[in-house]
Amino acid sequence: MPHITVKIWPGKAEKEKQALAEAVTQDVMKHLGASADSISVAIEEIESSKWEDTVYVPEIAPAMDKLYKKPGYKM
């Protein structure tokens, strides 16, 4: 049962976030063979001024060897 959390900066419209959640759901179904009913997608907005302390340092930096898509930026 995949659960995906997408962290983004604030400012995207609800329509854009809903479209992203639908696209992620479709891709998970396609690539992992999961059913739509087994997938959940959360979108969490993180202020840009808090990104480094809230996302990059605790989640991205220590997991670089596990990331299938690494960021093109460094902090």
Distance set, CA 38 to CA 43, 53, 57 (Å): 17, 32, 30
Tens digits of per-residue pLDDT, 16-72? 999 999 999 999 999 999 999 999 999 999 999 999 999 999 999 999 999 999 999
H or E segment and range at residue 6: strand 3-8
pLDDT of residue 1 exceeding 90: no
Domain range annotation of the chain = 3-66
- The structure tokens listed for 74 are 């460094």
CA contacts within 13 A on the Cβ side of 5: 6
Distance CA 56, CA 43 (A): 16
Catalytic residue list? 2
pTM for the predicted model, two decimal places: 0.90
Q: Which fold has domain 3-66?
A: Macrophage Migration Inhibitory Factor (3.30.429)
Q: Please tell me the predicted confidence (pLDDT) of residue 55.
A: 98
Distance CA 47, CA 55 (A): 10
